[in-house]
Amino acid sequence: MGIYTFDPSYQYALQLDKEDELASFRDEFYVKEGTIYLDGNSLGLLSKRAEASLLQILDSWKQFGIDGWTKGEHPWFYLSERLGDLIAPLIGAEANEVVVSGSTTVNLHQLVSTFYEPEGTRTKILADELTFPTDIYALQSQVKLKGYDPDEHLVQVKSRDGRTLNEEDIISAMTENIALIVLPSVLYRSGQILDMKRLTEEAHKRGILIGFDLCHSIGSIPHQFTEWDVDFAFWCNYKYLNGGPGSVAGLYVNKKHFHRTPGLTGWFSSNKDKQFDMEHTLTPADDAGAYQMGTPHLLSLAPLIGSLEIFKEAGLDRLRQKSLSMTQYMMDLIAHELKDMDFTIGNPLEDDRRTGHIYLEHQEAARICKALKENNVIPDFRAPNGIRLAPIALYNTFEEVWNTVQILKKIMVEEQYKKFENTRDVVA
């Protein structure tokens, strides 16, 4: 793509698409005709390769039965580790530090049960008040399991504006009674990117272990975990990585911690060579594979095989640059077309702090989202007043961004939203 300079015309949107070197990847996905899908930061679309790899695993079940664990193109027994190898470059980690296993919340429980070791005056976990609720629920549970009161021993850094976090405030909260820090890499509402490198350095200066929830950053922005020396991380694979609803999640453990026995162990924690010895003394794997517990869900692993092939071909750096261009273009169009309509852009404006979606705030947000859906634009509502719009670099176009803002303008001018109740649906 050429150098971006804003032009509000429709022809300019078409020109940006013409210059897009990633445009061909749109054909890899099942994009519903006549619909603009801007919710890929909640659930990515199905790709043809993900569909093919799922069918391939089904076929191996059909062809091999139980021998599918060790036979076929993708032997099941090793698939979680193999997919970890493919994901590792997306977070700047070594292959043996990553495994695809569990779910976001299960992996968080696993990692906190391992790394939260309250002792003496170091008994508290540091989190924040803007993180996704599941993280807080899990941390409260882990604090209770260690015999402490979450109201006192789970510290949540406050936001100054209700949208973002200030790294200075987080660092100030790294006091001598903090045993563990768990933070989001990206805030799920506003899309703010936290400075993971700086926060890790500051935590380690104080002798505190730190981990990150990557659900809203993996597959969207580059990470350099080896360079940053992050202790652990966890994430889902169904947003930007397009692994499908309920896709098996992932986790990262810094190799310097491989000597630890995971807090929660199971059969698949075993060293692969020892697993079928059926001993009642666990010999854990000597890498991140030890943090698995039960048998992997093969049919929910399978789509990732095809999806990660696409990421390897597209390249995360190129995807990030296109994403930044698309979100900047959307913000510029919003400022040009929707002024005086009471919208507030709630995401960071700077490239190094903004991830892959635009966060619009409006007092009629729930109604506006329903009107957008009626106009075949798929947004994401976040209570109480947020509209998330995610132009995904792999399958959205600049023309779709332009059309979305024009549709939004029409909804507001014609007051189409007033026919709907300003309440969220059961699933928002």
Q: What is d(CA 351, CA 214) in angstroms, rounded to the nearest whole number?
A: 18
* Residue 8, annotated as binding a ligand: no
Model-level pTM?
0.96
CB 413 within 8 A of CB 342: no
- Beta bridge partner(s), residue 359: 388
Tokens 């679309």 belong to residue: 45
* DSSP letters for 321-379: HHHHHHHHHHHHHHHHHSTTS--EE-S--STTTB-S-EEEE-TTHHHHHHHHHHTTEE-
Q: What residues act catalytically?
A: 132, 213, 238-239, 388
* Residue 267, annotated as binding a ligand: yes
pLDDT of residue 399: 98
Do β-strands 178-184 and 124-128 pair in parallel, antiparallel, or remain unpaired? Answer: parallel
Q: What is d(CA 241, CA 248) in angstroms, rounded to the nearest whole number?
A: 11
* Residue 132, annotated as binding a ligand: yes
Q: What is d(CA 118, CA 125) in angstroms, rounded to the nearest whole number?
A: 9
Per-residue DSSP letter, 178: E
* Residue 104, annotated as binding a ligand: yes
**Helix 79-87 vs helix 298-314: angle between axes, to the nearest 10 degrees?**
30
Per-residue DSSP letter, 66: G
The first and second tokens of residue 374, run together, are: 């009626």
CB 113 within 8 A of CB 264: yes
Q: What is d(CA 12, CA 7) in angstroms, rounded to the nearest whole number?
A: 6
The first and second tokens of residue 294, run together, are: 């039960």
* Residue 238, annotated as binding a ligand: yes
**Which domains, ranges and CATH numbers included, belong to the chain?**
10-30+316-419 (3.90.1150.10), 51-312 (3.40.640.10)
pLDDT of residue 1: 58
* Residue 105, annotated as binding a ligand: yes
pLDDT tens profile 88-145? 999 999 999 999 999 999 999 999 999 999 999 999 999 999 999 999 999 999 999 9
Q: What is d(CA 180, CA 123) in angstroms, rounded to the nearest whole number?
A: 8
pLDDT tens profile 184-242? 999 999 999 999 999 999 999 999 999 999 999 999 999 999 999 999 999 999 999 99
* Nearest Cα residue to 419 out of 359, 358, 366, 340: 366
* Residue 134, annotated as binding a ligand: yes
- φ, ψ of residue 122 in degrees (nearest 5): -85, 90
pLDDT of residue 3: 66
* DSSP letters for 390-421: B--TTT--HHHHHHHHHHHHHHHHTTGGGGS-
What residues of the chain score a pLDDT lower than 50? none
Q: What is d(CA 282, CA 285) in angstroms, rounded to the nearest whole number?
A: 9
- Beta bridge partner(s), residue 47: 29
The first and second tokens of residue 399, run together, are: 């023309």
* Residue 216, annotated as binding a ligand: yes
* Residue 118, annotated as binding a ligand: no
* Nearest Cα residue to 272 out of 96, 107, 426: 96
Counting Cβ atoms within 10 Å, is residue 309 exposed (0-12), middle (13-18) or buried (19+)?
middle
**Helix 298-314 vs helix 48-64: angle between axes, to the nearest 10 degrees?**
140
- The number of beta carbons lying within 10 Å of the beta carbon of residue 43 is 19
Q: What is d(CA 316, CA 310) in angstroms, rounded to the nearest whole number?
A: 10
Residue 394, CA distances (Å) to 91, 136, 282, 353, 369 in order: 18, 32, 43, 21, 23
* Residue 114, annotated as binding a ligand: no
Q: What is d(CA 391, CA 334) in angstroms, rounded to the nearest whole number?
A: 14
CA atoms within 13 A on the CB side of 376: 8
Per-residue DSSP letter, 24: G
* Nearest Cα residue to 267 out of 259, 277, 252, 253: 277
- Beta bridge partner(s), residue 388: 359, 380
